[in-house]
């Protein structure tokens, strides 16, 4: 337990140091050149601009990107592209379990006057 406590303390200290370094990086620049987003030490991304829905969607659900980790929307560090994570888990599941048989679902809809629910037919092809 003591070593876990030390690791947590080290992680907190590192994150705090990265936030301070990111803010210091921006404050060193002239006021007209401050963008409030970039990289600390050329590696860790930071962004202190107000988040937008487009940036949130691009960071956390981006089917066009093959990257698992994207730049964070607000703060320091990375975000997980959940679409890519889902794709990787589906691929891993398919490799482990084999490909399932495709299932075709057909729904027959009755006329609008009918009170019964539509029939569902499941077939294996």
Q: Say what the pLDDT of residue 95 is.
A: 86
Q: What's the pLDDT score for residue 43?
A: 94
pLDDT of residue 80: 97
Domain extents in the chain? 2-100
pTM of the model: 0.68
pLDDT of residue 97: 84
C-alpha closest to that of 83 among 97, 65, 71: 65
What is the rounded distance in angstroms from the CA atom of residue 59 to the CA atom of residue 70?
A: 6
Q: Could you tell me the mean pLDDT of each successive run of 10 residues in the chain, 125 residues long?
A: 91 95 95 94 95 95 95 95 94 82 64 60 57
């Amino acid at each position: 337990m003591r070593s876990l406590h030390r690791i947590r303390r080290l992680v907190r200290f590192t994150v705090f140091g990265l936030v301070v370094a990111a803010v210091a990086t921006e404050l060193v620049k002239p006021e007209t050149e401050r963008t409030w987003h970039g990289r600390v030490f050329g590696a860790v991304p930071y962004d202190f601009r107000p988040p937008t829905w487009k940036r949130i969607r691009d960071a956390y659900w981006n089917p066009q990107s093959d990257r698992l980790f994207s730049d964070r929307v607000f703060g320091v560090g990375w975000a997980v592209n959940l679409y890519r994570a889902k794709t990787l888990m589906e691929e891993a599941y398919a490799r482990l379990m084999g490909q399932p048989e495709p299932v075709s679902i057909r729904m027959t809809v009755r006329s609008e006057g009918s009170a019964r629910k539509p029939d569902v037919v499941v077939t294996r092809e």
